[in-house]
Structure 1
Amino acid sequence: MFETLAMIGKGGYGQVMKVSHKTTGDVFAIKKCQLRVLTAKQRENVLKETENLIKLRSEYVIQYYYSWIQYNCLYIQMELCFNGLIHLIKTQRKLFKMYKTYDYYISYDIFKQLVESVEYLHKNNIIHRDLKPDNVLISMPYIYTNHRYIKLCDFGLSKEVKALSDEYNQRSAKHTADIAQYMAPEAQFGTDYNHLIDVYSLALIGAELFHFDSDYIRDGVIQTIKTNDKELDNKLSEIYGLLLSMSVSIYTESYRKIDWRLRPECDLINNLVLDDTFYIAKQGRNNENCTIIKYIINEPDKGKFYN
């Protein structure tokens, strides 16, 4: 039915392949998990991922098509995405040596879409618990005007809850230690946590997007933003303050020890904090921004003209 074109990813649970349908020629991504080599908990996680992809069919999540088990392997057929956020961040930093306004447009647009995607999960009582640049993808039709191009993936560690107000303990979710770099400290240190661990992870991803020091965000360190654009400085300072509020914790090395329960919800971040005014007035249209993203990832030499 499918012809394998390339292997595009590999993880602890299996590998992801780029394939084409032998009849139609359509291209997809297929995740292959060899069930016989997985532990019982790992098998539970990959099956949970399939269940959540079926449940979360939306523009915010990578599109699920079909899944099947053959020769003791689980296959998950999904949309083929253009690239991952981790690659864009690395290339963006190489391309934009000095932070410029266009760089802000790109970072802002991605971050806003990312927060909206996590807000969608929380409205459906899903905690992702594994948010990191590796699990954020850029969809293929990114050149369309006003198209959502940020998609969440990898729901193997996600948790469905009865109510977002419920709290859980790390001892009942030891597998979350796999994401220590982006994981909220209340989950790392075995205390109670809830969906706000996703907000903490968003703060650290945001720090990378806006070229801030992630350690400063973790430790609650106040930083003065200086570029050659005063208006841009003001907006970046607001974003920096937002990220600090999203990462508050009693475990910080800063004197600012604040209960993690005071982190803002995603809907508050989107509706009250992430103001589109500066962004829209400067950018003009979304498809231009997407074109820049295309150049950053695929044709960095052309992207240099925006620097």
Structure 2
Amino acid sequence: MQEDIQALLANSSFFGKYKLDTTEKGFLGRGSFSVVRRCERIEDGAMFAVKIVSQRFATQAQREARILEMVKGHVNIVRLVDVHSDPLHFYLVMELLMGQELLARLRKLEKFTEAEAADIMRQLVSAVGFLHSKRIVHRDLKPENILFESEDCNARLRLVDFGFARLLPACVEQQLKTPCFTLQYAAPEVLDLGDTLPEYNEQCDLWSLGVILFTMLSGQVPFHARSKTESATEIMHRIRKAEFSFEGDAWRAVSLEAKQLINGLLTVDPKKRLSMQELSRHAWLHSSASLETPLQTPNVLPSFAGETFNETLQAFLTANRDGFHLMEVDAAPLMKRRGLKRQSAEKEANDKASKRVAAFETVPEENSTSSTHRPTQLGMMTPDVMMNYRIPPAGTIRDTRGSDSS
């Protein structure tokens, strides 16, 4: 088996062009069915990040590659450099980002102002607005998917991880249905609290931008576990009611205009929520240059992140006990109708792929389920992911666990 795998890799187009860094330093991130590592282009020594995906999930990787091709050229979106495929894996070669993720960067600052927050927000709005102009919804906007190109104080940000990104249906009346999210940043309409799938559109990204802005300005997440005993269901109910406040010392230095913007983004009804056009024209984004009063964010983040993330993680770990669940994608009525015809063929193909993949070190399969099931999004929030979120390594391109079909 080992000789067969080595023979397959020897004929791989990726390994013919790149040298994979298999050292500890070369490891950048991991998902359930992929890893991200540094790699070196053999012809000129240029360094990149490569996302390596098992062929069992090549369809999802190909979709991500197509979306990254569609958004090439925007200065605030990670750049796709190359795509390769061999019998074992699918390879997405991307620019290597040497800066940290958003909250880790803010945590290190001695001073952070609204003017600086507005600059970050303008870049985010530009990136997400560009996606929406292409009818693409990111669906997983959060601080760990916002990286900086370098450690330089003037470094530009990059939006990364398009594993959950989808094209909006061509018909205006149709909406996305599959619930994909990270709980603290999820829009109310995306949450699945019953037996029917939610319906939502690009407005879910606007809500997530509101949560990110709230966190930047205060160092706190508006929706999180308030105690170690609070369940994910309780957090979801607070999200669906937009139960948050601007109370506390951290908000005393924040302008009224910034709070009004957050209120407009964290509006439960997506039809009443600020649109991308309204957000891009909002006065706070363009007139906050004079707001140089230091925020408490760098001081609040270190203590707040540890406590609240541990408590939110506990809510996830006890979620099934308390009745919270995310519907399995293949168990949903919509997916059942789509999947019946191809289920048998997929099972045979995936079984073969599973045997091919088993021995390759860089793609962990230990969390995979039955070959006919795709992972629930609950699996995203495991203890190692939470720790990576809180203390991210430099040069990371994050990977969202799992994928889905709508």
> Fold match, TM over 0.5?
yes
Q: 1:110 to 1:278 in 2, by over 3 A?
A: closer
In structure 1, the partner of 2:378 is none
Within 5 Å, which residues of 2 pair with 1:1-307?
1-5=17-21, 6-35=26-55, 38=56, 42-58=57-73, 59-85=75-101, 88-90=102-104, 92-93=106-107, 95-96=109-110, 102-140=112-150, 149-162=156-169, 165-168=172-175, 170=177, 173-174=178-179, 176=180, 178-189=181-192, 190-211=197-218, 213-215=220-222, 218=239, 219-224=242-247, 232-233=253-254, 235=255, 237-249=256-268, 259-279=269-289
Cα pair 1:13 1:46 within 8 Å, conserved: no
Q: Quote the offset at 1:123 in angstroms.
A: 0.9
Rounded to whole Å, the distance in 2 between the matches of 1:157 and 1:68 is 20
**Aligned AA for 2:141?**
L
Q: CA deviation at 1:273?
A: 3.3
Give the RMSD, CA atoms, in angstroms.
Answer: 3.0
Q: Distance in 1 between matches of 2:142 and 2:250?
A: 27
8 Å Cα contact 1:128-1:157 kept in structure 2: yes
Which of the pair has more CA radius of gyration? Answer: 2
The corresponding residue for 1:253 is none
**Aligned residue identity for 1:2:** Y
Query: Amino acid of the residue matched to residue 146 of structure 2?
Result: V
- Whether the 8 Å contact between 1:14 and 1:31 is mirrored in structure 2 is yes
Contact 2:215 2:222 survives alignment (8 Å): no
In structure 2, distance between residues paired with 1:61 and 1:121: 9
Distance (Å, rounded) in 1 between the aligned partners of 2:38 and 2:290: 36
Report the Cα distance in structure 2 between the residues aligned to 1:227 and 1:248, rounded to whole angstroms. 22
How far is 1:163 from its partner?
A: 5.5
Structure 1 segments of 4+ aligned residues over 6 angstroms from their partners: none
Cα distance, 1:61–1:169 mapped onto 2, change above 3 Å? closer
The Cα of 1:118 is off from its aligned counterpart by 0.5
**Unmatched runs of 5 consecutive residues or more in structure 1:** 250-258, 284-296, 299-307
Q: Which amino acid aligns with 1:53?
A: L
Q: CA deviation at 1:51?
A: 0.6
Q: Which has the bigger relative contact order, CA under 8 A and spacing at least 6?
A: 2
Contact 2:117–2:217 at 8 Å: present in 1 too? yes
* TM-score, length of structure 1 as denominator length: 0.72
* Offset of residue 92 of structure 1: 2.5
Equivalent residue of 1:46, what SS? helix
Identity %: 22
* Counterpart residue type for residue 244 of structure 2: V
TM-score (norm 2): 0.56
**Quick check: which one's strand share is greater?**
1
Number of residue pairs the alignment of both structures matches: 254
Contact 1:129/1:157 (<8 A) preserved? yes
